[in-house]
Amino acid sequence: MINTFTYKTDQGWSVDTFPDMDSEQTLVLVFAAPAYFDDPAPIRQLCSSYPTSKILGCSTAGEIAGTRVNDASLSVAIMKFEHTNLVLTSTVVSNASDSYAAGEAIAQQLPTDGLRGVFVLADGLEVNGSQLVSGLGRVPHHVPVTGGMAADGARFQRTWVLHDGKPKTGMVTALGFYGEKFHMTHGARGGWEAFGPERKITRSENNILYELDGKPALALYKEYLGELAVDLPSSGLKFPLTIRDGYADTKCLVRTILGIDEKNQALIFAGDVPEGFLARLMRASFDRLVGGAVEASALLATNRVVRF
C-alpha cells in the first residue's frame, strides 16, 4: 500500500488527514526544502502521526510531486509492507574523511540475514560519496544499495538528513529491507554533454582536485565558465566533470562540484577524483536531462516486480 501527498508553506497539507498506515513495517519517506531545518513544525506533525514507522528523508534541490517540481514544500510517500521487515540505522559524519568509516558503520549495523536491499541518504556537504560507498562494501554483493545525497538548492551552505524525526546535519541514514518477497530495482541515466579537451588529473587527494595537466584546477575551470565563474560554486552544478581511468576505459563517472578552495586553487567534488584519471568538462542540456530521467524511469518499469 502506497500513499503520496505534499505540504506547501503557503497552502498546508494536500490531504485533510494523514493516511492510517502506521506500523513497524511502514516507511515514511520525506523530501523537503532546506528551510524546514529552521522551521520543522510540519515535519514534527507528520512524525508524531507515525510513531512506530521508519521515517527517512533529507533536504533537496527541489521536491518532486507527481509531474511537478516544487520549492518550499515537503513531498511525502508512505509505504506499508505486508511481508517485508525494515531496519533503520544511522551514523554521524564530522567531515569528508569520516565517510569510509560511516559506510562501514552502516553496513555493520544492518544484519545480513535476509537482507534484500539498502536505501541510503547522506549529508550532501560533509560526505565523500565514493568513500561512503566503499565503506558500504561490507554489505553482501548480491544486495542492491541505492540512495543519494542531500542538497540545499544552489546555496552550498547546509544540507540535512532526518534522524529520529528531526533534521540533522552531518548524518548518514540507511534503511535495510528484509524478506524473500521484497525485490529492489533502480535505474540511472544521465543527460550531460561532454565538451572541451580531455585532461589528466595530475594532483588530487580523495575528492579534492588540485591540478589538471599540471595547471591549477580552479583557474582552468573558471576559464571555461567565463562570466558564470562569479557564481561558483552554485554555477558549477551545471558543469560537472566526467572522469575515466585512461583511454581504454569505456566506463565514465560523473563528479558534481561541492565547493571551491580559492587559496589552493582547488575544486571539491562529491566523489573521488583519482590522480592519473582523465577528466573532461560537461554541461547541462535540459532536454537531455529530462530524457535521461525518462530512460531511468523506463528501466524501473522494465524491471518492476511488485512483491512487498
Distances in Å between the Cα of 63 and the Cα atoms of 13, 169, 221, 300 are: 14, 19, 30, 20
Q: Indicate the domain borders of the chain.
A: 2-184, 192-284
- pTM > 0.75: yes
Q: What is the pLDDT of residues 229-255, one digit of tens each?
A: 999 999 998 899 999 999 999 999 999
User: Which run of H or E residues covers position 195?
Assistant: strand 192-205
- In the 8-state DSSP scheme, what is residue 10? T
Taking the C-alpha atoms of residue 84 and residue 111, their distance in angstroms, rounded to an integer, is: 14
Across all residues in the chain, what is the average pLDDT?
93
Give the contacts of 41 (CB within 8 A, at least 6 positions apart): none
Model confidence at 16: pLDDT above 70: yes
Q: What is the pLDDT of residues 125-146, one digit of tens each?
A: 999 999 999 999 989 999 999 9
Phi/psi at 235 (5° precision): -65, -20
pLDDT of residue 304: 52
Q: What is the pLDDT of residues 30-47, one digit of tens each?
A: 999 999 999 999 999 999
